[in-house]
Amino acid sequence: MNEIAAALAMGVAAGLAVALPVGPVALLVLQEGLARGFRIAAGAAVGVAAVDTLYAVAATTAGGGVARLLDGHALVVRVVSAVALVAVAAWGLRQTIAARAGSRTPTAAAWVERATPSRTFARFVGLTVVNPLTALAFVSVAVGLAPRLGGTGRAAFVVGVACASGAWQLTLAATGSTLRTRLGDSARTWLSVVGHGAVVGLAAVVAFA
């Protein structure tokens, strides 16, 4: 029981250590809440937490192999991640500017109409999968832990990661939706521009750091 409790606590700590730094995906979850409210942003939050959980499973069962695989394709993973993040940021900025000007294009309008929790979940699963920072963080944590954890301990570690990541991502979604109800149109527009601009900057860091 002590081993399970310790593994669970380590999972919570690892999940928070990976999730708490405000990276590009976290900013996008916050932006979803700001732009579309909690229901849609919750889909994004659950999508991110799902991938964090899958990475925790992979890292605790095959940490060394995952590390070698990522190391052999580090440049490709970084470039794909950066391109995906820039594309998402550009799309978000386009929507923000079009909505503010009152001249939303048919394409942007169609995207807004299609926004559902399930589709947002799928989109954020894809975004998190191509984010190398998440994978590398879990691998670096788990490579040292895996040899010391038995089967039950590894399961408890993964549960801890899932709970910590999910709680934090849902907090971001709730924060964004709260700001949505309390801020005026102009403030929300500027926050959206700044948030998506930060995502572009972080994409550059991912690509060239």
Return d(Cα 32, Cα 54) in angstroms, integer: 23
pLDDT exceeds 70 at position 110: no
The 3-state DSSP class for residue 23 equals coil
Give the pair of three-digit tokens for residue 147.
């040899």
Predicted confidence at residue 62, as pLDDT, reads 67
DSSP category for residue 73? T
pLDDT exceeds 90 at position 23: no
How does pLDDT run across 134-149, given as a tens digit for each residue? 666 666 665 556 556 6
Return d(Cα 152, Cα 149) in angstroms, integer: 8
Contact of 172 with 23, CB cutoff 8 Å: no
Contact residues for 85 (Cβ-Cβ < 8 A; gap 6+) = 24, 127, 131, 199, 200, 202, 203, 206
Contact of 48 with 169, CB cutoff 8 Å: yes
Q: For residues 83-92, give the mean pLDDT.
A: 72
Looking at per-residue pLDDT, the higher value among 67 and 81 belongs to 81
How does pLDDT run across 121-132, given as a tens digit for each residue? 998 898 788 766
pLDDT exceeds 80 at position 150: no
Q: For residues 68-87, give the mean pLDDT.
A: 67
Side chain identity at residue 150, one-letter code: G
Looking at per-residue pLDDT, the higher value among 34 and 163 belongs to 163
Predicted confidence at residue 106, as pLDDT, reads 47
Q: For residues 115-122, give the mean pLDDT.
A: 88
**Burial grade of 2 (CB within 10 A; 0-12, 13-18, 19 or more):** exposed
Give the pair of three-digit tokens for residue 99.
């909505």
pLDDT exceeds 50 at position 104: no
Contact residues for 131 (Cβ-Cβ < 8 A; gap 6+) = 23, 24, 25, 81, 85, 206
Share of the chain above pLDDT 70, in %: 59
pLDDT exceeds 70 at position 161: yes
Looking at per-residue pLDDT, the higher value among 154 and 92 belongs to 154
Looking at per-residue pLDDT, the higher value among 194 and 165 belongs to 165
Predicted confidence at residue 21, as pLDDT, reads 62
- What band does 49 get if pLDDT is binned at 50, 70 and 90? very high
Return d(Cα 39, Cα 191) in angstroms, integer: 20
Contact of 37 with 115, CB cutoff 8 Å: no
